[in-house]
Amino acid sequence: MSELQDDILSKGYTELDEERFVNEPPKRAGRRAFARDRARVLHSSGLRRLAAKTQVLAPGADDFPRTRLTHTLEVAQIGRELGEALSADPDLVETACLTHDLGHPPFGHNGETALHEIAKDFGGFEGNAQTLRILTRLESKTFFQDRSVGLNLTRASLDASTKYPWGFDGENPKFGFYEDDREIFEWVRKYSEPNKKTFECQIMDFADDIAYSVHDFEDAIHSNLVDLDALTSKEVAEELFELANNFYGGDFEVNFYQEQLDYLLAQPYWVTTFDRSQVSVASLKNMTSNLIGYFAHQAEQSTKNHYFDETLKRYEAELVLEEKIRAQILILKSIANLFMLQRRGASEYYRKERDIIGLLFEHFSQDPARLDRMFFDYFEKADNENSQKRVIIDQIASLTDASAYRLVSDF
């Protein structure tokens, strides 16, 4: 275990929360540990790469839709304000939000699925597990005994970034660390309850849900992919509710979903037409702002009503969400899914992306000298074939959409 930090403790947090794997006194006296963490993530190469990675529509498809970076910044803004309102440290929550998509490979969840299929036999692939690997190994910031420890964030920041605090069991595609990274995961979770997310992580996760559901819906409308009139159709509504339960893990009855859809459609800010005029763009933005404010306010009030004046930090609280909020968010996610992910021609496009991931793995396996210098060094030091394959996965996951296309054409 490392020595404790000489930072100024954040209110309500302990030295164990702010401990780093390797002791690094602040370069400027008086800096707070979580503010340092936030700065390290903001200056990381992993965060910059998100600018050229898919959110839902590929980067460059239009000037308006989000990339992974703009999505991440929006999650950070929502999470910081909600965390502060609930007395969690805002820098800690924002750090978790900024890291939450660092591990996403090119082509978004489609690329994630392709890499998991390739890696199933040697530990799988998961964007959140990859995030931990980036933060604690692959980012170049701090070394300890000739080994990179990545950004060397505090225990609390790494814990808040761990959305799925368990390893791969061979079946569940959602997990938070690879076996190679067990040592650092166990250090992070040494004082934690098994399989339990911290309060700050729950805020990050909900901020992601808000941004994901509302902003993807906004992007779909702006891209003229959503038939707004169709949302009042019984047949379309049934498709949405089926997606909400079967694709997004919802557990609500059709009648309850219908009540929540009717509630959304009845709001005075709800957009019913969109023609890309300045007035309609402003109306769309107004709807987006109202939905974000509504979801965040409801979570804040529900949580405060449950805990009253208790301390809301780390393992001392749970974020409280009403069922209506969960259902409404699932409906918005399902709208974006139905009209964007399932749009005509999309399946062929997604198949091509998965093929590119497969070709990259094949080419790097045949010619590892083509790996970037850092990854080639890891490949040379690997003591078994599975470890070498993991390095190739790390290389592919680090690519942007454009660099993945370019590399395939160069091989």
- Which residue spans within 96-214 are E strands per DSSP? 143-144, 147-148
Both 241 and 277 in one domain: the answer is yes
- Which residue spans within 268-374 are E strands per DSSP? none
Both 182 and 134 in one domain: the answer is yes
Which residues in 194-212 are b (16+ Cβ under 10 Å) and which e?
A: eeebbbbbbbbbbbbbbbb
Contact present, 50 and 75 (Cβ < 8 Å): no
Domain stops at, among 284, 309, 342? 342
Let me know if residue 166 belongs to a domain: yes
Is 177 strand, coil or helix?
A: strand
Both 47 and 175 in one domain: the answer is yes
Domain stops at, among 342, 363, 378? 342
pTM: 0.92
The pLDDT value given to residue 146: 85
Both 331 and 352 in one domain: the answer is no
Q: What span, in angstroms and rounded, lies between the C-alpha atoms of 92 and 411?
A: 42
Let me know if residue 13 belongs to a domain: no
Going from the C-alpha of 5 to that of each of 9, 44, 272, 298, the distances in angstroms are 9, 21, 54, 37
| String of DSSP letters for 229-280 | GGGG-HHHHHHHHHHHHHTS-----HHHHHHHHHHHHTSTT------S-HHH
Q: What span, in angstroms and rounded, lies between the C-alpha atoms of 131 and 397?
A: 10
The pLDDT value given to residue 22: 94
The pLDDT value given to residue 4: 45
| Degrees, nearest 5: CA angle 200-219-211 | 10
Q: What span, in angstroms and rounded, lies between the C-alpha atoms of 78 and 214?
A: 12
Let me know if residue 16 belongs to a domain: no
The pLDDT value given to residue 7: 56
The pLDDT value given to residue 9: 61
The pLDDT value given to residue 58: 47
Q: What's 54's DSSP letter?
A: B
Candidates 46, 49, 48, 66; CA nearest to 57 is 66
Domain stops at, among 283, 310, 342? 342
Going from the C-alpha of 92 to that of each of 82, 86, 89, 200, 306, the distances in angstroms are 12, 13, 5, 7, 23
SS3 content of the chain, % helix, strand, coil (to 5): 60, 5, 35
First to last CA, the chain: 45
Both 219 and 277 in one domain: the answer is yes
Blockwise average pLDDT, block size 10, the chain, 411 residues: 52 90 84 94 95 63 68 96 95 97 92 96 96 96 90 97 96 95 95 92 97 92 90 95 94 96 97 94 96 97 84 86 97 92 78 95 96 96 96 97 91 80
Contact present, 22 and 142 (Cβ < 8 Å): yes
Both 182 and 302 in one domain: the answer is no
Residue 55 domain boundaries: 33-188
Candidates 154, 164, 163; CA nearest to 201 is 163
Number of domains the chain is built from: 3
Both 126 and 216 in one domain: the answer is no
DSSP H or E stretch at residue 318: none
Burial degree of 66 (CB within 10 A; 0-12, 13-18, 19+): buried
Candidates 406, 404, 360, 407; CA nearest to 107 is 404
Burial degree of 382 (CB within 10 A; 0-12, 13-18, 19+): middle
